[in-house]
Structure 1
Amino acid sequence: MSNFIPEIIYAIVFIVGNLTVYFWRRKTDDPDIFFFCCIWSLASLFVYLAAIEIPKGSFFVVIPLLFLGLFLQSYFRSKARLLNGFLFNLFIIVFGGYLLYNIFTTTSIIVGGLLAVVLVAFLLIVFFGIAALLIFLYWNAIVVMKKESHSLANLLTLLLAIFLTVYLVYDHFIAQQLPLWLSGFLSCLPLIMGYFFLVFFNFLTISLLYQFNHPRYDQDYVMVLGAGLLNGEKVTPLLARRIDAAIHFYQAQQKAKGKRAKLLMSGGQGPDEKISEAQAMKNYALSQGIPESDILLENQSTTTLENMRFSKKIMEEHSPNGYKAIFSSNNYHIFRAGIFANQAGLAADGIGAKTAFYYLPNAFLREFVAIVMMNKRRHLLVVGGIVGLTTAATLIRLLVN
């Protein structure tokens, strides 16, 4: 029994700590219970790992902590950067390597349990990953086509599913039948796919982490980023959710601190719209009981980058001595919007409005495509390098044979 004393103490500290965090955060204006429980769980785990390793004379627990510190330093310096996704995933890989070392040197049942969960998840992905992914993508595509318009932007999950299906058929039934020179050249395809998978994984990681952003209740402005209108004059359900998220923050800040922020509606008038998006958003906010004196309009922008630039100009005119601001958009969009805020020189983070689950896969794919296009030169160089290397390798094989 004495051999399990560290594990018993850790289990007690873990459970009691999380219960304490739960009841503590419930009493606050902005509970965010899940985030703070994650912080406590990670901190208590590292304390436990250090407690069982250091007495044995090693200090390798410092290594994953350094990588975690590197991620946190980059993240809090600027949250909307793809680099942060890479650094977090790098931390996870290093931490996994450390856990493997730890299990062999300490035989901890806690570490063994963590690795068992990871192993089971890995095996499930290996055995069912591709098939499950294809089934999910086709199902999601059908749902989106039933509930949304058939625009190209809403067909991304279907296009991805078709591409993966064609590639699997090629890889299993056609690749072996091709001449050496052609199969060698086409060997660049899995490498290119692997590269974009890593880029997407980093993007998805930081996009999900960005959802935990919870601005303080001391904001002067809450920007709402515009979107298309119904019949050229009414906000869509998607845009209404953005406004609702801003109104919720506006009301929560007023209740918590007694400070009233200005809602800055940002969006110009499209060629098929009767009024500007900003005006339609104002009309909706007024219908929700927001005083007109607390609403500002930016009605010239046509892109998210212009949303940020033109809104920044308005806020600087109203608050020449400085201000604090955040922006509201749909949860899948706030990371890319944060990138545009950085490009505009605007120190503002985003709050995300909830989006229907069925729409999220397609929405995140659309955001990923947009992110790739923002850095298309870099990706073209990498793809070109892969094609060049595989072509050179194929030529060498042909000459040798």
Structure 2
Amino acid sequence: MKKVLKIFLGIFILALIYIAICFGLILSKVNDRPAHLANKYDSILVLGSFIEPNKQPATITKNRLNAALKIAKVNPKSKIIISGGKGSDEPVAEATAMANYLETKGISKQRIIEENKASDTSQNLSFSKKYLKGRTVIVTSDFHLYRALYLARKLDVKSAGYAAHTTIHKPLLFTGYYGHEVLGLTYAFVFGAG
């Protein structure tokens, strides 16, 4: 019985160490926001996130879009690629709702490229790759940036990253987002996708 307990304790300690390492990697990118953005990027890739039942981007999605708007305003010639398909719990494709949001904020429809098939981060990157020209920046949530850049390297997508600050009104959601990210990162490490 003592041997079994030692084995379980060893596994538990290894799991805690692994989770701590993942958190460290995730946290290493949460403040990546280049200070000098003007005339630096030719392509801005915004990774999709949840769309509300009223067809409006959820707060976390708006955070990403507002960060992209900041970059787009000082890079007026850049194309904005927005990537995200329609989840089973979403009324429209993420890319469609995100494009509408950008247009209401003054971005010309001609600057926006919609990729509306992707259902995960790896697909966001691989399906959008053909639209990326020149210097590229990937915009996603702060807690998601490490995994996005890790998968971008795996897919040979050369880019900088911009961590959109995450606004969360319910603190419990932070636990969910970071817990989900540890699982997503594990899947990315094991399968090179996700």
Which TM-score tier does this pair reach, normalised by the shorter chain?
0.7 to 0.9
Bigger proportion of residues as helix: 1
The TM-score with structure 1 as length reference comes to 0.43
2:105 is aligned with 1:288? yes
For 1:372-383, list aligned pairs within 5 A: 372-375=186-189
* Matched residue SS, 2:77: coil
Work out whether residues 147 and 188 of structure 2, in 8 Å CA contact, stay in contact via their aligned partners in 1: no
Matched, 1:328 2:139: yes
Q: What SS is found at the alignment partner of 1:332? A: helix
Q: Does 1:198 align with 2:9?
A: no
Give the AA of the match of 2:18. V
Distance 2:88 2:176 in 1: 26
CA distance in 2 between counterparts of 1:369 and 1:187 reads: 25
* Structure 1 unaligned blocks of 5 or more: 1-181, 378-401
Q: CA deviation at 1:232?
A: 6.7
Listed one character per residue, the Cα deviations across residues 38-59 of structure 1 (whole Å, up to 9, x for unaligned) are xxxxxxxxxxxxxxxxxxxxxx
1:184 and 1:296 map into 2 onto residues whose CA distance is: 59
Q: What is the CA–CA distance in structure 2 between the aligned matches of 1:375 and 1:344, rounded to whole Å?
A: 13
Alignment of 1:338 onto 2:149: yes
Change in CA separation of 1:343 and 1:188 when aligned onto 2, cut-off 3 Å: same
Unpaired runs of at least 5, structure 2: none
Secondary structure at the counterpart of residue 243 of structure 1 = helix
Match of 2:63 in 1: 241
Q: 1:273 to 1:197 in 2, by over 3 A?
A: closer
Taking structure 2 as the reference length, what is the TM-score of the superposition? Answer: 0.84
| SS of aligned partner of 1:333 | helix
Q: Size of the alignment, in residue pairs?
A: 185
1:304 CA drift (Å): 0.9
Q: Write the letter of the residue equivalent to 1:287.
A: T
- Secondary structure of the residue aligned to 1:219 is coil
Of 168, 185, 190, the residue aligned with 1:371 is 185
Distance 1:269 1:348, change over 3 A: same
Provide the C-alpha distance between the structure 2 equivalents of 1:264 and 1:331, rounded to a whole number of angstroms.
Answer: 19
Give the Cα–Cα distance (whole angstroms) in 2 for the partners of residues 349 and 288 of structure 1.
Answer: 24
Separation in 2, partners of 1:296, 1:285: 11
Alpha carbons 2:51, 2:91 under 8 Å: kept: no
The answer to whether the aligner puts 1:313 opposite 2:167 as a matched pair is: no
**Higher normalized strand content (fraction of residues):** 2
Distance 1:183 1:191 in 2: 12
**Same amino acid, percent of matched pairs:** 23
